Amino acid sequence: MKTTYREALNQALKEEMRRDDRVFLIGEDVAYYQGAFKVSKGFLEEFGSSRVVDTPITELGFTGLAIGAAMAGLRPVVEVMTFNFALLAMDQVVNNAAKIRYMSGGQLSVPIVIRGPGSAARQLGAQHSQSLEAWFCHVPGLKVVAPATPFDAKGLIKSAIRDENPVIFLEAQLLYPVQGEVGDDDYTIPLGVAEVKRPGTDVTLIAYSKMLLVALEAAGKLAQEGIQAEVIDPRTLRPLDLATLATSAKKTGKVVIVEEGSRRAIKFLSIWRLSTLSVSGRSAGQVFVIARSETTKQSHETKDEIAAFPVVARNDTIRHIRRIGGE
C-alpha cells in the first residue's frame, strides 16, 4: 500500500499506542492542532488528553518531564516542532536522558523517543533549517535515527519506541509528503542496520534522510554514463552500521558521502571516512569525496536555498561522483 512519510509515522505511532498503554505523546500543539505537520492527526479523539499532551512553549521543561516519566516506567514520545528548538532542551537530553542509565549502574533506563522535523525545508530561514544530527551523534548514550522512506520511517519509529534507550528520531520536513510502499503488518526495522537501496560496482554513495533521494537520482543519471553506483542508506546514524558500509567500500574502492550539513562541520561520516577504513590499499582520505552544503546560513530566498545544499539539478553531486567513479 502506498502512503506518505507523514501517514506512515501517524500509523506507526497509533499502532504503538494501541499496543502499549504506557506510550504517550507530548509536545507543542500535538493534541488539538494535531501537530505542526499533522503527524498526530486523530490522536486526541482516539487516545484522549491524558496520552496526547499539549504543552507550553518550554522544550526544556516538557523534555525533562518526559524523561522523568520514562524513568518511572512510561514510554514517552516527545515531539519537537523543529529540531532547531531542541537546542533549548539539550541539558535534559545530554546530561539526563543520555547519562542516567550509566550513572545508575543500569538500575534505571530512559526509554524515550524525541522526534520531529529537522534540516532545511522551504523558506523557513536560518533558525529553522539546520542539520544538527552530528551534535546528537557525538553524545554517548543516545541512539540517532534518520529514515528516508515511509517504509523505513514506520518500522524504525516502532523499534525506537520499544527500545530501552533514548532515541533521537530525525524527520526531514520535505519528506512528509513523499509517498512510498508501506506494509499493513506490524513490522519493525532493527536500529543500527543499514540497507543497500541500489546495488552497484563502481562507486559507493552513502546518504541518509532526504539526501538519499539525491543520491538515488544521481545514481540513475550515472547509470546512463555506464557508472554503476551502489547507494546505501545508513538509516541509523548512531550506532552506525560500519560493516555494511565497509563491505560496499571495499567492493567498489570509491566512496562519496552525500550530506546536507555545513561544509566545515565535523560530521560523523566525515570522521569515519578519515579514520576507520582503508580501501584497496589506499588511505580513506584519498578515495573519499564528500558532497555537502556550502558554508552558509540558510536564506529565505528560494534561489539561495537551492544553492545551499546538494541537488542533482546543479550537477554538484554528479560532478563529485564522476570525479572518482569513472576512474
> Which three cell numbers, joined as nine digits, stand for 236?
541509523
Q: Nearest to residue 281, comparing CAs of 257, 256, 250, 255?
A: 250
Q: How far apart are CA 158 and CA 160, in angstroms?
A: 5
Q: How far apart are CA 242 and CA 268, in angstroms?
A: 12
Q: Which of 59, 79, 133, 259 is catalytic?
A: 59
List, as one string, the DSSP characters of 256-295.
EEE--S-TTS--HHHHHHHHS-EETTEEHHHHEEEE---S
Find how far residue 240's CA is from the centre of its chain.
12
Q: How far apart are CA 324 and CA 49, in angstroms?
A: 55
For the chain, the farthest-separated pair of C-alpha atoms sits apart, in whole angstroms, at 60
Q: How far apart are CA 25 and CA 6, in angstroms?
A: 16
Cis peptide before 239 (omega within 30 of 0): yes
Using a 10 angstrom Cβ sphere, with 0-12 exposed, 13-18 middle and 19 or more buried, the burial of residue 243 is exposed
Annotation says 59 is catalytic:
yes
Q: How far apart are CA 229 and CA 245, in angstroms?
A: 13
Count of Cβ atoms closer than 10 Å to residue 168 Cβ: 30
List, as one string, the DSSP characters of 81-94.
S-TTGGGGGHHHII
Element (H or E) spanning 214, and its range? Answer: helix 211-223
Q: Which of 128, 133, 230, 260 is catalytic?
A: 128
Q: Which residues are catalytic?
A: 59, 128
